[in-house]
Amino acid sequence: MFEQGWATRDPEAMGLPGTLLDAPVNTLLSTMSYAAAGLSYLEWTRYRAAAELHTRLVLPHEMSDHRLMDATTHCAARISAVLSISQGAGEGIVTRAVALRDRLPRVAECLRDGLIAPKHIHTIIGRTDLVDGTTYAREVDTEIAAALQRRGSWSDTRMRDMIDRIVYRHDPDAVRERRVLAEKNRSFWIDAGPDGMAYLGATMTAEKAVVLAAAVQELAGRVCRKDPRSTGARSSDALFALATRTAYECQCDDPDCSAPGWTGEDGLLTSVIVHVVTDTTTIADSTTT
């Protein structure tokens, strides 16, 4: 059906300008907006197709746990093959497609209408996992969709906070439980990067991240103004020094440099102030940590 690809199709037939050469600025901007909405529509179409595959290939086996797992794996494998992606990525598409179909149909309509970007779907589904199967799941879906229809941009933080507020209104324990699960699933990873570099990452509680970031920033700042490294490079070196307890020094060429650096032995005098907003009930509850 699409053997020749999108590039062979008439742009004007899809509502796009035939050429952008010498196009007015407003035309360029509106084209970008229209294309972004088109990406959302195409992603909705992809999820809709994946959900239909799930209906045909997986649901007939839902009465058997063993067959259901095999059917789900098989469905994801077929998607992975046609999209040239990994098995895990294919399973993720199936999972999100089912969530949009069964738990978040109104949110799916927002994706269809270009009100949100495809990347937002990951956040919305992840933040509503614990409402799946509850009596208020549809209400959460409706309220999130209503919020998405308001004017304004959606940063990752604003999107997350909006969803959490809606879920919290229906079930405060669900928000707390998700945080408990998130802490339980904290992790550490390292990935190979280009040109002999690597990527290092970890998940931890926000409080620990604040403490670690403060320590890294404090140590990274123990150099003089002549240090040639960027802030990011100094922070990277400071993190390595903290983890290995090795010396951290200024890398300027001044033999009389008086920057304190760090020997790797003495403690860092880093102080962190954590502001807590709570109510008296939570403070008085001896079981709350």
pLDDT for 280 = 63
Closest residue by Cα to residue 107 from 61, 69, 159: 159
How many domains does the chain divide into?
Answer: 2
Please give the residue range of the domain that contains residue 138: 6-184
Residue 50 within a domain: yes
Whether 49 and 162 map to the same domain: the answer is yes
Whether 146 and 257 map to the same domain: the answer is no
Residue 269 within a domain: yes
Residue 34 has pLDDT above 80, yes or no: yes
Residue 275 within a domain: yes
Whether 262 and 285 map to the same domain: the answer is yes
pLDDT band at 17 (very low <50, low <70, confident <90, very high): confident
pLDDT band at 284 (very low <50, low <70, confident <90, very high): low
Whether 104 and 151 map to the same domain: the answer is yes
Q: Which residue among 165, 184, 203 closes a domain?
A: 184
pLDDT band at 153 (very low <50, low <70, confident <90, very high): confident
Q: Which residue among 133, 160, 184 closes a domain?
A: 184
Cα separation, 27 vs 45, in Å, equals 26
Closest residue by Cα to residue 237 from 224, 225, 250: 250
Neighbours of 44 (CB within 10 A): 21
Residue 2 has pLDDT above 80, yes or no: no
Whether 23 and 131 map to the same domain: the answer is yes
pLDDT band at 217 (very low <50, low <70, confident <90, very high): very high
Residue 83 has pLDDT above 60, yes or no: yes
Average pLDDT over residues 172-192: 87
Residue 1 within a domain: no
Whether 27 and 153 map to the same domain: the answer is yes
Residue 203 within a domain: yes
Inter-residue contact 55 to 75 (CB < 8 Å): no
Whether 147 and 28 map to the same domain: the answer is yes
Whether 71 and 20 map to the same domain: the answer is yes
Whether 166 and 273 map to the same domain: the answer is no
Q: Which residue among 158, 184, 210 closes a domain?
A: 184
Residue 228 within a domain: yes
Residue 178 within a domain: yes
Residue 232 has pLDDT above 60, yes or no: yes
Cα separation, 122 vs 167, in Å, equals 16
What does the pLDDT look like over 247-267, one tens digit per residue?
A: 999 999 899 999 998 888 776
Whether 176 and 206 map to the same domain: the answer is no
